[in-house]
Amino acid sequence: MIPFTDVNIVAVIVATIASMAVGFAWYMPQVFGNTWMKLANIKPDKSNMQKTMIQALVLDFISTYVIAMVLYMLAPATLQEGLLLGFILWVGFIVYVEYGRVIWEKKSVHLFAINAGHGLAHVFVTILVLMLWPF
């Protein structure tokens, strides 16, 4: 049975907030933001920022909730096992999708590295919070 109601919603919310904080830091202009915008051919547009951030928050929450369900179902015994599981999920899903953009959309490998790196940070921070949170 899929544990839709068995995950700790408070832990999911805290992990979502932590992951969003990592995303804010990751894409700051001083970190990868300026390079990312140039490589992705994105022009700064603050007029839609509220809508964009709400959409990002919803997606982050969904991803965090799914990771929580996977952790619940597979029950890694240690934090190291949880992070290994996260790494496997990252390779199997995030790297697959992001590198597909390099192959099919002719995006740069550098853009792949920025986006896939953020995906790995998201997965690891999410797993850290979820596994360290008391259930």
User: In which residue ranges of the chain is pLDDT below 50?
Assistant: none
* CA 40 – CA 90 distance, rounded (Å): 21
| Nearest-5° Cα angle at 18, 39 to 131 | 120
pTM for the whole thing?
0.92
DSSP letter string, 36-101:
HHHHTT----GGGHHHHHHHHHHHHHHHHHHHHHHHHHH--SSHHHHHHHHHHHIIIIIIHHHHHH
Residue 127: predicted pLDDT: 98
Q: What is the pLDDT of residues 23-56, one digit of tens each?
A: 999 999 999 999 999 999 998 887 788 899 999 9
